[in-house]
A and B are shown apart, each in its own frame.
Chain A
Amino acid sequence: MTVLLFLAVVAPVSGPSASGAPVSGADFLNPETRALQDDPFANPGFLWVERGAALWTDGGCARCHALADTRPAAFPRYDETRQAMVNLEGRINRCRDRAGAPSWAYESEPLLALTAFLLNRERGATVAPAADPRAEQFRRAGEAFFQRRRGQLDLSCANCHDQLAGRRLRGERVSQGHTNGFPTYRLLWGTLASTHRMFRWCNEAVRSEPFPAGSPEYVNLEYYLRHRGSGLTVETPAVRR
């Protein structure tokens, strides 16, 4: 009994490959950070959600799109004309392009606000990317990116977020690296941040050259991570350390 109990305590939280059930980054947080995420007033991410709601109405989106028909959680998805994956940020900018408006840069306030507003409407919904055979090669490319060692530290995403998830690394418990809370409010940065900013930061942390935000490499990775996080609930805007 004692031995079993001991094993239960030291066993790392299983990676999704081991147990099949992914664990949200929220479950790796201290209680007070979790409480901040769950407080709809104090969670600073809602400053962007509110801004996004205003942009949807005043920025012209509502002229063409019925809010009830949007499926923000279905992105990234296969785009027939480009024969590649397009994520929500890319979809929004394509719309702006068609309207003759300049693109919004990654991490710009309007792009973060609009993506946060749209995904917040899905808060509580289950992450369930649709099976699409045309997207399969891109999912595989994203998975290969996830598994490939890179940088001076020679670490892959999987080395930490699959194999070491749940273990302590300095003062932090290593999360499984899911994207169900993005755009997410990062306490470290004091701002809302996109998945691609997080990818860049993570790549730099292992001393590798990050890819540009919006690059096909990152969109494919984002798409793979959607699949990898199937079954989690959308938490946008989450709060992470």
Chain B
Amino acid sequence: MRARVNLPARARAGEVITVKTLVAHPMETGYARDVRGDLVPRHIVTEFTCWYGGREVFRAAFQPAIAANPFLEFHLRATVSGRVTCRWRTDRGEETALERTIEVA
């Protein structure tokens, strides 16, 4: 899975920042049929997790009603300089993680 994560490289302590994420995935619902009329097996991203400052700070559980190539925007309060890690997992056990660093002054 290819993924994108965007957040500011620098922030003031206490500032609330915006984290934007995007992951390449078809999010097959399990209800659609292919050209031969066969059901396309369900295959979705089920879990998104974000760590910051060594702790899990945000998590999401996706169902098939999340559109293909899931986009998710949420927020974090900048407290310490360090890594922000985002990880996606699918219902087949595949996973992708991306890491960004933020400098907090």
Contacts and interface: CB of A to CB of B under 8 A. Distances in A.
Q: A–B direct touch, CB within 8 Å, in complex?
A: yes
Interface of A: 41-42, 44, 46-47, 50-51, 187, 190-191
B92 interface: no
A190 B27 contact: yes
Given A190-B26, A190-B27, A191-B26, A44 B2 contact: no
A12 B90 CA distance: 46
Interface stretch (B46-54, B55-63, B64-72, B80-88): B64-72
Interface residues of B, number: 13
Contacts of B68: 44, 190-191
A47 B2 contact: yes
Contacts of A41: 4, 6, 20, 22
Contacts of A190: 26-27, 67-69
B98 interface: no
A191 B22 CA distance: 13
14 contacts: A41-B20, A42-B22, A44-B22, A44-B69, A46-B4, A47-B4, A47-B22, A47-B69, A50-B2, A50-B4, A187-B67, A190-B68, A190-B69, A191-B26
Given A41-B4, A191-B68, 13 more contacts: A41-B20, A41-B22, A44-B68, A47-B4, A47-B22, A47-B24, A47-B69, A50-B4, A51-B2, A190-B27, A190-B67, A190-B68, A190-B69
Q: Which 7 A-B pairs have the closest CB atoms?
A: A190-B68, A44-B69, A47-B24, A41-B20, A41-B6, A42-B71, A47-B2
A44 B71 CA distance: 8
Contacts of A44: 22, 24, 68-69, 71
A89 B53 CA distance: 46
A42 B21 CA distance: 8
Contacts of B24: 44, 47
A71 to B, nearest CB: 28
A190 B71 CA distance: 12
Nearest to B6: A41
Contacts of A42: 20, 22, 71, 73
A213 to B, nearest CB: 14
Contacts of B26: 190-191
A47 B70 CA distance: 11
Contacts of A47: 2, 4, 22, 24, 69
A50 B69 CA distance: 14
Interface string B1-21: 010101000000000000010
A177 to B, nearest CB: 24
A187 B2 CA distance: 19
A44 B25 CA distance: 10
Contacts of B27: 190
A183 to B, nearest CB: 14
